[in-house]
Amino acid sequence: MEIDYCTRCRGCWLDEGELGLILTGDLYLPEQVDLVKAQKGRRCCPHCRARLRTGPLPESNVEVDACPFHHGMWLDYGELRKIIEYHAEAGVIRPLSRYLGDLFECDVPTTLT
């Protein structure tokens, strides 16, 4: 899996299915992002150039920018961590937090609060 990361703003792009891989190890995630009718955001999909739709990711309530054609989603700095913390158990979050912290060279807590 390849996560596209912006060194300037520290946000990341996840292609469709990558969030499921991160959270469950499976491409399918039951609460797939479907924001077709949501408000248009300012960013464009890197695959089809359609304006991303902005809205809450189901269940976690983290606001994401998603492609209306399901190519993927943009996560601002810290949003991936919030989503992972929401879905993960304490025993799972520590190694994943360390990995993401090393990957993005940022401070990611290794415990749930």
Give the contacts of 113 (CB within 8 A, at least 6 positions apart): none
Confidence class for position 58, pLDDT limits 50, 70, 90: confident
Long-range contacts of 3-7 (CB under 8 A, 24+ apart): 3/103, 4/46, 5/103, 5/104
Query: Any idea of the CA torsion for 11, 107, 32, 9, to the nearest 10 degrees?
Result: -10
Comparison of pLDDT for 67 and 30, the residue scoring more: 67
pTM greater than 0.75 (yes/no): no
The whole-angstrom separation of Cα 61 and Cα 69 is: 21
Q: What's the number of CA atoms in the CB half-sphere (13 Å) around residue 90?
A: 3
* pLDDT tens by residue, 13-34: 999 888 888 777 766 554 455 6
* pLDDT tens by residue, 95-111: 666 666 666 665 545 45
Give the contacts of 92 (CB within 8 A, at least 6 positions apart): none
Class of residue 46 by CB neighbours under 10 A (exposed 0-12, middle 13-18, buried 19+): middle
Q: Give the per-residue pLDDT at 108.
A: 46
Residues 68, 79 contacting (CB under 8 angstroms): no
